[in-house]
């Protein structure tokens, strides 16, 4: 028995929860690494500014962690509440990484609490730095494990289906599925990249708004360096993801690229719009590029949508999402690369107002790219919840109350979103870095 | 011992852990709000904040651990409980969301606000009620199968005296556990006014806790005779539990050894909780679901148990470190160490 309305609202509610959660979750994965690096640089250079940077980032981080934790709890429970049939089936095969994710999270939670409340308890800051290692590891590994679960949904393996019954389950095989290497490295890499650009955008904003303190300049340079490194790794992994899709999920790649007919030497369609008659307008077509993306050879054959039944093709609007993600990614590589070269060569343009505004824009754009990338990945495997095995509608709940829950949760996310922004802004505006540095000076010369 | 039993013991233990730490948390929020509205805030707030700040996130993980674990070990629970619990559990999640985030917003961000404190306290009372519904439903009689899908009968649930007794028990137990713990904590901090006030709360909430606990066993006789019979077969566990309860109250009354009083309380709830669990065996949802017909395949069960042991090897030392640094650190408890954020 499939309850169409419940399926529809379950999809919307899951999408809303995840879209809201990943903003905080991405920062939750990336920021601990940034704090650790800043703390480490501070100790190494014996520079108080970096230590203060680590402190201030941590303080803001707590707020994002809180929202990340509660929305993460929400999605964790919603998996069973909204997709009971899916969880019943998939739980048999994929419970292991789900379970390990909670361990990683537990580990992080314990050490974050300790790190926060022991700022002044250790004489030696190196010891205090050690506490950050489990926080950063826990944060990254929870991303790794939960992404493995998602990778399994795209490329289920590690079991046999015999007459609708599960047999020969192999949890390790299920974890190391073909989608896992590219997905995990892309998710973790882009989380580091996004966090670096979000922090860079804060530093650039402070520099634009009155403060010209060396502290913000140091913060900006550090985060732009980290941002460039991880945006380059994201680019490489993104290319590998294309090759993975061509091999294992050709319908997702074909839909994202509007590649209708199977052909050799396939061209890549960049940007453009599609009208109701499926005619593509205003697109930039790059010859051979899709064949290179898919198989690393300009003449290789790329499978098109003509090879798939109508009901197995994902929505074609994912092309726009793909473009948003790629264009922002490329742009951020350009912005950070130019910034670092400009800094080294002493070009004044990278310290000009418009360029700083561009960096300010980079943070929100990186988050938009994360959202677009996830929507692309998730909508791209429609109509399946477990690709090739269970359709989305078969996994959903039959309850009649999903619409009401959707409204309640939207209310919650509104409160959390507004609340976290207000608190963060107030926290830093009421205590600018200049004042804190003065206070701490007093402390040092005590 | 077979894997099913190991699985359910692991999960039951984590649920017990959650019940204790969450009770302390929920109760503390309530006492804090109550303190503000009765102008006793200056007595309690500092003690409560000092305990809660480093551990609030850890408390939440116990819950996540439990629900991920139960779906892992018993995937069919997702099907039965997932479909039927959409409304009560969603409400609990929303309350948890408001609670957790406001705690962080308040502590690390904005100035204190009466309205938030009130919401924080109120959600601490609504949450145990929303979560305890699951225990009521597991007794059977509220879920029926329609067109092959489980459906929750809300009418029967709301009209049942069993439901309301379990709600009352969860509320008074939360306040009782929390008050006893905080009495001990305040005493360690040498904070006499807070100790006295919390001791009074503990004594007030002791009575309703034990009365409703006894009443529920009596009501089960009519609701689920099978379960009642099994409870009688482990009567000695409930007897030990009752004796430990008397021990706690006596120590509180005599104003001595609050630490021992709290450990007796843990023992009291442990015996009652495991006694209840054992007598519930083998049902996860009476009479539809037992631990045997919902258990995951052997390969998954084994790997979960291995992951669990490896994880605990990591967690127990870390938790120990946390307790040592905060709960059992005299300077921290008394607020002597420097804290600047």
Output the DSSP codes for B206-255.
Answer: HHHHHHHHHHHHHHHHHH-HHHHHHHHHTHHHHHHHHHHHHHHHHHHHTT
Do B133 and A91 form a contact (C-beta atoms < 8 A)?
A: no
Q: Give the closest residue to A283 by CA, choosing from A322, A251, A247.
A: A322
Mean pLDDT of A133-156: 90
All residues of chain B having their beta carbon less than 8 Å from the beta carbon of residue A394 are: none
Do B214 and B228 form a contact (C-beta atoms < 8 A)?
A: no
Please name every residue paired with A384 in a beta bridge, in sequence order, or none if there are none.
A391
Mean pLDDT of B257-267: 88
Is a pLDDT exceeding 60 seen at residue A122? yes
pLDDT of residue A441: 62
Give chain B's length: 341
- CB contact (8 A) between residue B314 and residue A101: no
**How far is Cα A108 from Cα B74, in angstroms, rounded to an integer?**
26
pLDDT of residue A190: 94
When mean pLDDT is compared over A227-236, A401-410, B3-12, B322-331, the highest value belongs to A227-236
When mean pLDDT is compared over A188-192, A281-285, B39-43, the highest value belongs to A188-192
Distances A161 to A148, A156, A158, A167, A392 between C-alpha atoms, Å? 21, 11, 10, 6, 18
At residue A111 the predicted structure's pLDDT band, cuts being 50, 70 and 90, is confident
Give chain A's length: 446
Q: Give the closest residue to B222 by CA, choosing from B300, B165, B293.
A: B165
Letter string b/e over residues B47-73, b meaning 16 or more CB atoms within 10 A of that residue's CB: bbbbbbbbbbbbbbbbbbbbbbbbbbb
CA A72 vs. chain centroid, Å, equals: 14
**How far is Cα B205 from Cα B245, in angstroms, rounded to an integer?**
12
Do A100 and B69 form a contact (C-beta atoms < 8 A)?
A: no
**How far is Cα A338 from Cα A335, in angstroms, rounded to an integer?**
5
**How far is Cα B89 from Cα A222, in angstroms, rounded to an integer?**
44
- CB contact (8 A) between residue B58 and residue A106: yes
For residue B71 the two structure tokens come to 């779906």
pLDDT of residue B303: 85
SS3 of residue B331 by DSSP: helix
Region of B190 on the Ramachandran plot (φ > 0 left; ψ -120 to 50 alpha; else beta):
left
pLDDT of residue A369: 94
Q: Give the closest residue to B46 by CA, choosing from B203, B197, B257, B177.
A: B197
pLDDT of residue A188: 93
SS3 of residue A165 by DSSP: strand
**How far is Cα B77 from Cα B294, in angstroms, rounded to an integer?**
7
Is a pLDDT exceeding 50 seen at residue A157? yes
* Phi, then psi, of A274 in degrees rounded to 5: -120, 130
**Dihedral of the alpha carbons of A215, A217, A223, A225, in degrees to the nearest 10:** -130
SS3 of residue B338 by DSSP: coil
Do A123 and A93 form a contact (C-beta atoms < 8 A)?
A: no
Q: How far is A200 from chain B (nearest CA, A)?
A: 22
**How far is Cα A67 from Cα A423, in angstroms, rounded to an integer?**
12
SS3 of residue B284 by DSSP: strand
For residue A312 the two structure tokens come to 């197995």
Helices (H), B105-224: 114-138, 154-159, 161-188, 192-223
Assess A423–B contact: CB distance below 8 Å, yes or no. yes
Query: Where are the strands (E) in A367-406, listed by range?
Result: 384-386, 390-391
pLDDT of residue A146: 92
pLDDT of residue A442: 53
For residue A400 the two structure tokens come to 């009649």
Q: Which residues contact A289 (CB under 8 A, 6 or more apart)?
A: A267, A268
**How far is Cα B12 from Cα A46, in angstroms, rounded to an integer?**
50
The continuous run of DSSP H or E covering A344 comes out as helix A318-345
- CB contact (8 A) between residue A77 and residue B93: yes
Q: How far is A47 from chain B (nearest CA, A)?
A: 19
Mean pLDDT of A220-224: 91
All residues of chain B having their beta carbon less than 8 Å from the beta carbon of residue A90 are: 75
Q: Which of B67, B86, B339 is opposite residue A405, by nearest beta carbon?
A: B86
**How far is Cα A416 from Cα B126, in angstroms, rounded to an integer?**
19
Nearest CA in chain A to B80: A84
Assess A100–B contact: CB distance below 8 Å, yes or no. yes
Q: How many CB atoms lie within 10 A of CB B18?
A: 21
Do A285 and A268 form a contact (C-beta atoms < 8 A)?
A: yes
pLDDT of residue B338: 46
User: Based on C-alpha coordinates, what's the Rg of chain B?
Assistant: 20
Is a pLDDT exceeding 90 seen at residue B142? no
**How far is Cα A32 from Cα A35, in angstroms, rounded to an integer?**
5
Q: Which of A134, A412, A423 is opposite residue B94, by nearest beta carbon?
A: A412
Nearest CA in chain B to A10: B86
Mean pLDDT of A24-37: 92
Q: Which of B72, B105, B148 is opposite residue A99, by nearest beta carbon?
A: B72
- CB contact (8 A) between residue A107 and residue B96: no
pLDDT of residue A1: 56
Q: How far is A154 from chain B (nearest CA, A)?
A: 20
Is a pLDDT exceeding 90 seen at residue A328? yes
The helix-helix angle for B41-73 and A84-116 (nearest 10°) equals 140
At residue A46 the predicted structure's pLDDT band, cuts being 50, 70 and 90, is confident
At residue A446 the predicted structure's pLDDT band, cuts being 50, 70 and 90, is very low
B335: DSSP letter: T
pLDDT of residue B119: 80
For residue A385 the two structure tokens come to 């919840």
All residues of chain B having their beta carbon less than 8 Å from the beta carbon of residue A169 are: 297, 299-300
Provide the terminal-to-terminal Cα distance of chain B, rounded to the nearest Å: 50
Separate counts of helices (H) and strands (E) for chain B: 13, 4
- CB contact (8 A) between residue A110 and residue B318: yes
The dihedral built from the CA positions of residue B165, B166, B171 and B175, taken in this order, carries a sign that is: positive
Confidence (pTM): 0.87
- CB contact (8 A) between residue B104 and residue A63: yes
Distances B84 to A12, A397, B149 between C-alpha atoms, Å? 19, 9, 9
- CB contact (8 A) between residue B64 and residue A83: no
**How far is Cα A101 from Cα A141, in angstroms, rounded to an integer?**
7
Region of A259 on the Ramachandran plot (φ > 0 left; ψ -120 to 50 alpha; else beta):
beta
SS3 of residue A166 by DSSP: strand
**How far is Cα A86 from Cα A150, in angstroms, rounded to an integer?**
13
Region of A258 on the Ramachandran plot (φ > 0 left; ψ -120 to 50 alpha; else beta):
left
Please name every residue paired with A160 in a beta bridge, in sequence order, or none if there are none.
A167
Interface test with B, best of A102, A121, A430 (most B CBs within 10 A): A102
Provide the terminal-to-terminal Cα distance of chain A, rounded to the nearest Å: 73
Do B276 and B231 form a contact (C-beta atoms < 8 A)?
A: yes
**How far is Cα A228 from Cα A332, in angstroms, rounded to an integer?**
8
Nearest CA in chain A to B295: A92
Assess A364–B contact: CB distance below 8 Å, yes or no. no
**How far is Cα B130 from Cα B96, in angstroms, rounded to an integer?**
11
Mean pLDDT of A331-351: 87
Q: What value does the mean pLDDT of chain A take?
A: 84
Q: How many CB atoms lie within 10 A of CB A356?
A: 20
**How far is Cα A145 from Cα A102, in angstroms, rounded to an integer?**
9
Question: Angle at Cα A249 formed by Cα A179 and Cα A77, nearest 5°?
Answer: 55
Q: What percent of chain A has pLDDT over 70?
A: 97
Do B117 and B107 form a contact (C-beta atoms < 8 A)?
A: no
pLDDT of residue B165: 86
Mean pLDDT of A6-11: 86
A432: DSSP letter: -
Query: Where are the strands (E) in B31-159, listed by range?
Result: 143-146, 149-152
């Amino acid at each position: 028995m499939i309850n169409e309305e419940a399926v529809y609202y379950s999809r919307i509610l899951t999408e809303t929860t995840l879209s809201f959660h990943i903003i905080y979750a991405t920062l939750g994965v990336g920021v601990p690494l940034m704090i650790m690096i800043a703390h480490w640089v501070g100790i190494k250079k014996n520079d108080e500014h970096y230590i203060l940077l680590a402190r201030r980032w941590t303080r803001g981080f707590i707020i994002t962690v809180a929202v990340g934790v509660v929305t993460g709890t929400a999605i964790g429970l919603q998996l069973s509440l909204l997709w009971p049939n899916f969880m019943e089936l998939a739980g048999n095969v994929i419970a292991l990484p789900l379970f390990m994710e909670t361990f990683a999270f537990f580990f992080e939670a314990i050490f974050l609490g300790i790190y926060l409340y022991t700022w002044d308890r250790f004489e030696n800051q190196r010891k205090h730095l050690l506490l950050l290692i489990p926080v950063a590891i826990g944060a990254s590994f929870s991303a790794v494990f939960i992404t493995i679960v998602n990778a399994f949904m795209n490329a289920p393996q590690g079991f046999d289906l015999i007459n609708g019954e599960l047999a020969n389950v192999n949890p390790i095989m299920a974890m190391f599925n073909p989608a896992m290497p590219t997905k995990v490295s892309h998710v973790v890499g882009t989380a580091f990249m996004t966090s670096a650009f979000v922090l860079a955008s804060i530093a650039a904003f402070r520099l634009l708004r009155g403060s010209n303190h060396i502290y913000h300049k140091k913060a900006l340079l550090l985060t732009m360096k980290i941002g460039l490194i991880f945006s380059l790794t994201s680019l490489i992994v993104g290319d590998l993801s294309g090759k993975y899709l061509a091999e294992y999920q050709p319908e997702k790649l074909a839909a994202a690229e509007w590649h209708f007919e199977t052909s050799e030497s396939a061209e890549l369609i960049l940007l453009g719009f599609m009208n109701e008659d499926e005619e593509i307008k205003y697109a930039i077509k790059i010859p051979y590029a899709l064949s290179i993306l898919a198989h690393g050879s300009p003449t290789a054959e790329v499978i098109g949508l003509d090879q798939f039944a109508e009901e197995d093709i994902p929505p074609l609007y994912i092309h726009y999402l793909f473009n948003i993600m790629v264009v922002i990614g490329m742009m951020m590589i350009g912005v950070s690369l130019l910034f670092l070269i400009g800094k080294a060569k002493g070009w004044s343009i990278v310290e000009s107002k418009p360029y700083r505004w561009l960096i300010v824009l980079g943070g929100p754009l990186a988050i938009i790219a994360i959202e677009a990338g996830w929507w692309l990945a998730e909508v791209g495997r429609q109509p399946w919840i477990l690709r090739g095995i269970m359709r989305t509608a078969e996994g959903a709940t039959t309850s009649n109350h999903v619409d009401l829950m959707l409204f309640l949760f939207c209310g919650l996310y509104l409160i959390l979103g507004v609340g976290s922004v207000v608190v963060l802004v107030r926290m830093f505006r009421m205590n600018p870095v200049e004042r804190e540095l003065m206070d701490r000076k007093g402390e040092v010369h005590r | 011992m077979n894997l099913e039993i190991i699985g359910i013991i692991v999960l039951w233990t984590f649920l017990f852990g959650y019940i204790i730490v969450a009770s302390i948390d929920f109760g503390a929020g309530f006492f804090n709000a109550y303190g503000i509205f009765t102008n006793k805030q200056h007595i309690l707030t500092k003690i409560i904040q000092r305990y809660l700040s480093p551990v609030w996130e850890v408390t939440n993980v116990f819950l996540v651990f439990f629900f991920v674990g139960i779906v892992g070990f018993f995937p069919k629970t997702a099907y039965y409980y997932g479909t039927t619990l959409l409304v009560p559990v969603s409400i609990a999640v929303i309350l948890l969301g408001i609670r957790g985030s406001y705690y962080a917003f308040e502590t690390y961000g904005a100035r204190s606000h009466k309205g938030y404190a009130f919401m924080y306290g109120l959600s601490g009372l609504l949450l145990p009620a929303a979560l305890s519904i699951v225990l009521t439903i597991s007794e059977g009689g509220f879920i029926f199968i329609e067109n092959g899908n489980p459906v929750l009968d809300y009418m029967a649930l709301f009209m049942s005296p069993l439901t309301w007794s379990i709600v009352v028990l969860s509320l008074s137990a939360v306040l009782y556990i929390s008050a006893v713990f905080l009495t001990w904590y305040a005493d360690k901090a040498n904070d006499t006014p807070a100790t006295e006030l919390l001791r009074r709360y503990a004594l007030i909430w002791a009575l309703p806790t034990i009365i409703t606990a006894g009443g529920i066993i009596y009501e089960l006789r009519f609701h689920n005779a099978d379960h009642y019979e099994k409870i009688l077969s482990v009567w000695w566990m409930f007897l030990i539990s009752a004796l430990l309860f008397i021990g706690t109250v006596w120590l509180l009354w005599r104003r001595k050894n609050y630490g021992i009083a709290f450990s007796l309380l843990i023992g009291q709830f442990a015996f009652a909780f495991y006694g209840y669990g054992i007598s519930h065996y083998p049902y996860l949802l009476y009479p539809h679901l037992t631990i045997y017909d919902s258990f995951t395949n052997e390969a998954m069960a084994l790997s979960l148990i291995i992951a669990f042991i490896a994880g605990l090897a990591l967690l127990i030392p870390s938790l120990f470190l946390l307790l040592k640094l905060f709960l059992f650190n005299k300077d921290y408890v008394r607020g002597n160490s420097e804290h600047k954020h």
